[in-house]
Chain A
């Protein structure tokens, strides 16, 4: 029958694809090896799964790559999303080693549930900014302008950037009509509504505005109305014995990691 070779080919293709997918997520046990001559931090091995707030996408992608360069036998798998969604996933047993959140409350949820190994530490801070279409066609200069500019994109209310935005708007005494607010699931989606959509303005992090570069124009929110977001990071209980996980956190807090965060627009932790 002429059907046989074709079926065989399809089966072989499926096997190859599945094998490729499986092998990229396999992990080896972490075993720190003593360094050779330079006296630098001992190189670690093993895989680290990091769940990080979406506003950390650019910075952590670079940090992950740099970490792998410094520890060639360690692999970093990055998972970005809204801190609230990630915290829920971890509570439901998602295999994660390190969690970096955009606010304290999502980490507290995990520490109270006994899912964290050790105390969280703040590794960076961020501020909010207004973004508009390039050239700021609607001449937005303050938070108050957002009340009559048209459709404004904000993060969902339970997501850190949504909570921070609500705080800033309350401090400034501004109410945007409900029919003008489109909610994004995380900071990146919220910004996309302006960068790749028809929203007139959005409130996102300074770092998001910086990554979006020429696709948006930024409007500064004065310090008096602005909110400082503190980003804590913690190793999770399931990875308590993983030297690679602890090394990753140490790298984020090291001079090299901090320099990368700074280059993306994050503020130092204190």
Chain B
């Protein structure tokens, strides 16, 4: 019991420490400084875009991993989930060598289309998608795999075309899992730091999302940094509240 209390305190104390430091009366002013506003706007735009991309790319991927038997499926699944455990900075370095101006794919993007992903908002979105995608895939794949096939089979035997079965039967049945997966992916994208700063750089107004802004502002304007941190804590709490029914039976 005592050890559990220590564990609980360990997790809760940093939050308490942070909340103690907030100058509540100044919070509004702190969060409307240009750098804070830019960071909040960028974080919102990039994390939502990354989540959309993660769902668009992840759903077909999850489907194939859950339903299609092919040789090397387990290896493929492990590779798709790799960004989840990879240190984010390492992910950033990998992204650089793949999509940087001289990278595997980046070289052609630049030479043929003049597109440079590093140091751009698109690059920040790319980095966030890379780390957030596995979170969506793992949730969606588990749900698709564990789905009772009888509902789909019933629909098929009744003559419904396959595509309609997916749209009207399968997806609605796994919708709670998809929402949860998207929420997880969004929270991960929001908090992304290492891959973003390595690949997309730290440019105010372009790639300086909230975690990057906090990193810089801790030196110069700690109050603003703390204010931004509190915003992220509040968002995290909201995500957990949204997911509470999946992880523990609403208590």
Contact = CB atoms under 8 A, between A and B. Distances in A.
Contacts, number: 54
B220 A182 contact: no
B146 to A, nearest CB: 30
Interface residues of B, number: 19
A183 interface: yes
A159 B219 contact: yes
B203 A151 contact: yes
Nearest to A85: B219
A199 B219 CA distance: 24
Nearest to B123: A198
Contacts of B100: 197-198
B96 A184 contact: no
A156 B216 contact: yes
Contacts of A181: 203-204
A182 B202 CA distance: 5
A184 B219 CA distance: 13
Contacts of B181: none
Interface in B185-209: 198, 201-208
Kindly state the interface size class of chain A when it binds its partner. Answer: 20 to 34
A157 interface: yes
B202 A179 contact: no
Contact of A198 (B116, B202, B203, B219): B116
A84 interface: yes
A181 B101 CA distance: 18
A73 B207 CA distance: 49
A179 B201 contact: no
A193 interface: yes
B119 interface: yes
Interface in A156-207: 156-159, 178-185, 193, 196-199
Contacts of A88: 219
B119 A185 contact: no
A181 B38 CA distance: 14
Contact of A151 (B96, B201, B204, B215): B201
Contact of B202 (A85, A178, A184): A184
B118 interface: yes
Interface of A: 82, 84-85, 88, 151, 153, 156-159, 178-185, 193, 196-199
Interface of B: 96, 100-101, 116, 118-119, 198, 201-208, 215-216, 219-220
Nearest 3 Cβ contacts at the A-B interface: A182-B201, A198-B118, A158-B220
